[in-house]
Amino acid sequence: MEIEEQQQVWKKTFYLELPKVELHVHLNGSISSKTMRKLIAKKPDLKLYDQMIVIDKGKKRTLVDCFQIFQLIHQLTTSSEDILMVTKDVIKEFSDDGVKYLELRSTPRRENATGMTKKTYVESILEGIKQSKQKNLGIGASYLIAIYRRSGPLVAKETVKLAEEFFLSTKETVLGLDLSIHKYRTSKATEIKCQNTKMIKFYP
C-alpha cells in the first residue's frame, strides 16, 4: 500500500510539473469553482447559489445542464471588471497546473446595463493577459476573438472588424478568429472576409 501511495504522489507531481500547452481554451468554460464563488458573492441580487452553477470535483451533470450554466455565467460576468478578474484567475490557475502557453478564446459581448461594449470586453481580456505577464507566472497567453455563428452575418462582420483592429495593435496577443458553433454557418461573404484577414484559425 505504501508503494502504491508513493507512486500516486510521484505521478501527480510528474503530471503537474510537466510543461503543457493548452489551445482553443474557452474562457467561460475554464472558470473554476473558486472564481465562480467570487462572482456569485459580487452579485447577491441574482440569488444564485453554488449548487446552481458550481460543478465541484466528483459532481455529475448532463451535457444539457452544462450548457445551461453558460447562460448563468453570462449573468455573472456583465462588467469589464468581471471579465478582467476571470481572465487573470484562469491564467493563474492554468499556470499553477504547469501550462506554459495558453490560447484563450471568447466571444465579445455587450452589456447595456453596465456599459460594457464588445471593445471593452476584448480590452479587459487583453489587460488580464498583460497583468498576468507582469507577474512573471511563467506562462504565455494569447487570445482568439470568437465569432458566434448563430448570431448571424452582420454580427460576424462586426467581430471581424474588431479583430482586425486588435490584431494590428496588440503585438501578437490577438492571434486571429475562432468560428464557433460549426452547425450554424455564416454567409459565404463573411467567411471570405475572414479568410482575407489572414488571421483566422479553423477548428473541427
Triad 15, 18, 23: Cα angle to 5°: 100
pLDDT computed for residue 14 by the predictor: 83
Q: Are 166 and 122 in contact (CB under 8 A)?
A: yes
Q: How many CB atoms lie within 10 A of CB 156?
A: 22
pLDDT computed for residue 192 by the predictor: 45
pLDDT exceeds 60 at position 24 = yes
* DSSP annotation of 116: B
d(CA 73, CA 140): 25
End-to-end CA distance of the chain: 44
What residues does 174 pair with on adjacent strands?
Answer: 143
CATH of the domain at 99: 3.20.20.140
pLDDT exceeds 50 at position 76 = yes
Q: Are 73 and 37 in contact (CB under 8 A)?
A: no
Q: How far is CA 40 from CA 27, 35, 57, 115, in A?
A: 17, 9, 19, 20
pLDDT exceeds 80 at position 64 = no
146 part of a folded domain? yes
pLDDT computed for residue 158 by the predictor: 93
**Residue 12 — pLDDT band, cuts 50, 70, 90?**
confident
Query: Which has more confidence, 93 or 67?
Result: 93
d(CA 30, CA 95): 13
Total domains present in the chain: 1
pLDDT computed for residue 204 by the predictor: 38
166 part of a folded domain? yes
126 part of a folded domain? yes
pLDDT exceeds 50 at position 184 = no
189 part of a folded domain? yes
142 part of a folded domain? yes
| Average pLDDT, integer, range 26-53 | 86
Q: What is the DSSP string of 64-85?
A: HHHHHHHHHHHHH--SHHHHHH
* DSSP annotation of 186: -
For 141, the domain range is 20-27+80-201
| Average pLDDT, integer, range 24-33 | 93
pLDDT computed for residue 203 by the predictor: 43
140 part of a folded domain? yes
**Among the listed residues 192, 118, 123, 120, the one whose alpha carbon sits nearest the alpha carbon of residue 153:** 192
How much of the chain exceeds pLDDT 90, in percent?
A: 58
